Each structure stands twice: as C-alpha cells, then as structure tokens.
Amino acid sequence: MSSGATGRFACVGLGPGDPELITLKAARLIGAADVVAFHAGVRKQSHARRIAAGLFPDPVIEEELRYPVTTGSTDHPGGYAGAMADFYERSAERLAAHLEAGRHVVLLAEGDPLFYGSSMYMHDRLAERFETEVVPGVPAFAAATAAAALPLVRRTDVLTVLPGTLPEAELARRLADTDGAVIMKLGRTFPAVRRALAAAGRLDDAVYVERASQEGERRLPAADVDADSVPYFSLIVVPGDSRRAPAAEADPPAVEAVEAVAVGEVLVVGLGPGPDRWLTPEVDEVLAEVDHVVGYAPYVNRVPQRAGLTRHASGNSVEVDRARHALALAAAGGRVAVVSGGDAGVFGMASAVHEVADEFPGVPVRVLPGVSAVQAVAARAGAPIGGDFAVVSLSDRLKPWTVIEQRLRAIAEADLVLAIYNPASRSRTEQVVLAQKLLLEVLPADRPVVVGRDVGRAEESLTVTTLADLDAASIDMKCLLIVGSSGTTVSASGAVWTSRSVPG
C-alpha cells in the first residue's frame, strides 16, 4: 500500500486492443498500481482487463466496474441516463474509498481515456478531489486507419469523427460537408450509417474495419458488410481523398467557354421560416432534383443530404460572392438551388443573384416563392397585416441608418402597419431602441406591437404589447416585430387584426 494522505488517480489509455500498442508510461503506471479498475459490459468479460492483464503487479486489488445496462431497457426511474449516472456515482465512490486510504488507483481505458470513454466520467467526479493524471492511448480510429492502409487526411483536409448514433439525415449532412471522416458506435446503427454514406456520396470509398489490431481483425468495403454481423468493436473510415471537388468549384468559367457545355439553371428558393411543413411543394420538388445547394450555412443545413447533391455553405455576409458561385456552377452545367430562409425575395438571395446575373449571360434564373417570416408571425397573431403595410429591415449593413430613420418616420406618418425584420443582432443592439424612440415621436404609446420569436419552431413565442411597453432589451435576431396602424385592434381573445377599410 502506498504512503501519504491520499493515493493518486490515473486514467490510462490502453490503445485499441493489441497489448504491444500500450505506451511505456501506461505500462509503468499499471505495474506500480495498488488498485487496477476496469469497466465491463453486462454479462461480458472486460476487454480492458484482457488487454492489460499481463502488466498487473502481484499483489494488486482489482475493481471491476460492471455496467448495469448498455443500450437495452431498464426499470430505473430515470431511464438509461439515470441508471448510468447512478452507476458512475457509485463507481467513483468505490475508487474514492481506495484513494482516501492512500492507495494508487489506475483506471484502464480502451483506446484513449478522454475519447468516447467511460473513464472520463470517473475523471469528472474524482479529478478535483485527488491528484490525477491522464495517460493518452492510441485511439481506435488510428488503428483502423493503419489496418486499412488509408491516408485519412492530407494538408488542409478537415477530419470529422462522428457517432453512428446520430440521426441518419444529420449524419449524411455531416459526411457530405467534411473531407475525412471516422464513424464510430456502429453495431445496430450500421444500416442507417450505410444509408447515410450513400446519401452523402461517400459509400464507395468508405472502409469498414472490425477489431482493429486485435485477433480477428477484418476490413472490407462498407458497401459489402453484412449488417447482421457488425459488432461494437468496429468503425468506418472515409478518407479525405475521396471527397473530390466538382470541376465547377474552380474559378468561374470564362464567358466564351460557357457555350461549350450544356448550361444549367439557378433556382432561388425560400425555405419558409422554419418547419418543413411550411416548405412549398414546388420548392420541395426542386430540392429533390438539383445538383447543388448554395446558401448561408444554417439554411443549407436544412436541406436533406442525398446521393448526387453537393452542398456549398458559406457565411452570412457574402451574398454577392455566393450568387456568383451559384451562377458559375450553373454555367458549367449544374442545376443549382440558392436557398434563403422565409421567402427568397424578401431580404433574401433573389436580389443578390439578379444583381450579378448579367455577368453570366445565358444562365436562366428562376425565383420560387416561399412563406415569409412576416406572414408566419402575422398568422400566429391573427391578421395584423390585413390592411396596407410596409416592411423594413433595421440592419444598416447595406444601407445607412439615416435612410432607415427616414423610412420609419414616413411609414409612421402614413399610418401603415410596419413589419420590422432584423431588429437586432449580437453586434447591433441599439437600432431597435432608436427605432422605438423615433416611432413614439409619431405614434401613440398604446399602439399595438406583436413580437414573434422563432415562429414555427419548438422555441416559438408570441408577445402582444404596446409601443411604449416594448422591452427593446429583450429583442434579438430571432425576432420579427409588427407595429400596428390606427386600424389595428387587439380583440378580447387576444387576436391582433387590422381592418381592410380606411375612413375617407
């Protein structure tokens, strides 16, 4: 037994399974331990113990931490998560008792201790109480890559490690958007993972590796795997080399070269304010057929990945560059959808595409309507835009604030219902305060105001207030405001509506 007030705690990575891949440092700590702890599956022998058993000192105290459940059902009142949380608490206290007695405890971890490993939960619970050390181990995906003899990523390639438990559509999207990929946690998830690989166009290059570095190691194309034979100790490697950029990703083709290929088209589409049920059938049909989707990343992410689709996501302030890229793809023969939230013609990408369309003569551009955010908020409130109304964006990124002020004052003096887009953002917090102050110079304090936030999404909220009582500090980029006119009424039921008739 070690001397001192408390013992030391070490989370030690063992590598993927071959005892010869245990680091020298890990071997030294295991050989000097008073207590060796390891996890074990339900009704299974511990793989970690099997890997490191030859290094155990004699004598040594062994602590087997056997899971109460893996992915099966449980009668725990907190379900699977509750059962596992209780298990980790009990396990941590078992190890803490040894540490408080002055014993040095080594917790074995397959692969690397802090990479999808149970040891991290012990580390969370013990590291602040006891002297702790983490010894890295060779992760399973490194052994799998070596077994498959695949260069995983080169130069500026991006590597993404994905759990196979992700929803299929999300997994497909992430596979399409990365260079190299590793998919872990297979087993029962394998059929969905294979479908996601196919949807992302990555199945043909994906390599399945089973029991990397262990006895019974097996590797074969992911497309050829029998889904019923996939064990937990398996993963899929997708090399970055397999993501070949389309020819149209290069510089836009010269005008004189465009006539040499079949010209595609650009379709500028609105995805609606959020939920899929607000996507029009016309837009849904187009998105199922195009070769490319171009847009601001959150909007591109709303388009399901499928085989044959290439996605081009970018930031929020490069609209014209994004439009040129879409037109270049179409000029090279692609059918391209440029996506916006809401309606593409209302503060969306339609204007940006038409702004540069003349640079690509012969490339047809079509704009398909979508449900706009103002329509969605108005419908939730009742009928506040049932009469004449105006729409203004408070963003001063593309126009000076003085112009916005002039337009707000003119709309208020004209007694129009006012819909306000982009009232605030992380960097723009004063505009809505200034707009409220300006409108109060013209409009009465009790003028109805509707605040719609995240309308159509799970976090949706709708607030009906007055212009004077509007809490400007609560307004953010997820909000749209509707300021009523003299013809706007808030009914006893709380509905907000504007009369279509105006007294002469």
pLDDT for the residue numbered 2: 43
9-137 — its CATH code? 3.40.1010.10
Model confidence at 13: pLDDT above 60: yes
Domain segments of the chain: what residues? 9-137, 142-242, 247-368, 374-498
User: 3-state secondary structure string, 382-393?
Assistant: EECCCCCEEEEE
Rounded to the nearest 10 degrees, how much is the dihedral formed by the CA atoms of 429, 435, 440, 445?
-60
Average pLDDT over the chain reads 91
pLDDT for the residue numbered 63: 97
222-227, long-range: CB within 8 Å, 24+ apart, which pairs? Answer: 222/194, 222/197, 223/194, 225/190, 225/194, 227/190, 227/191, 227/194
**pLDDT one-digit tens code per residue, 92-113:** 999 999 999 999 999 999 999 9
pLDDT for the residue numbered 257: 46
* Structure token digits, residue 330: 């179409």
pLDDT for the residue numbered 356: 96
Model confidence at 140: pLDDT above 60: yes
* Structure token digits, residue 27: 């071997």
**pLDDT one-digit tens code per residue, 188-226:** 899 999 999 999 999 999 999 999 999 889 999 999 999
Q: Which fold has domain 374-498?
A: 3.30.950
Of 106-110, 119-123, 130-134, 396-400, the one with minimum mean pLDDT is 396-400
pLDDT for the residue numbered 353: 97
Model confidence at 447: pLDDT above 70: yes
Mean pLDDT of 329-357: 95
CA-CA distance, 467 to 329, in Å (whole number)?
A: 47
142-242 CATH pick, 3.30.70.890, 3.90.1150.10, 3.30.950.10, 3.40.50.10860: 3.30.950.10
CA-CA distance, 239 to 157, in Å (whole number)?
A: 10
Check if 9-137 and 374-498 are the same fold: no
247-368 — its CATH code? 3.40.1010.10
Of 30-34, 161-165, 243-247, 392-396, the one with minimum mean pLDDT is 243-247
pLDDT for the residue numbered 178: 92
Model confidence at 4: pLDDT above 60: no
* Structure token digits, residue 352: 């940006």
**pLDDT one-digit tens code per residue, 310-340:** 999 887 778 999 999 999 999 999 999 999 9
What three-state secondary structure class fits 71? coil
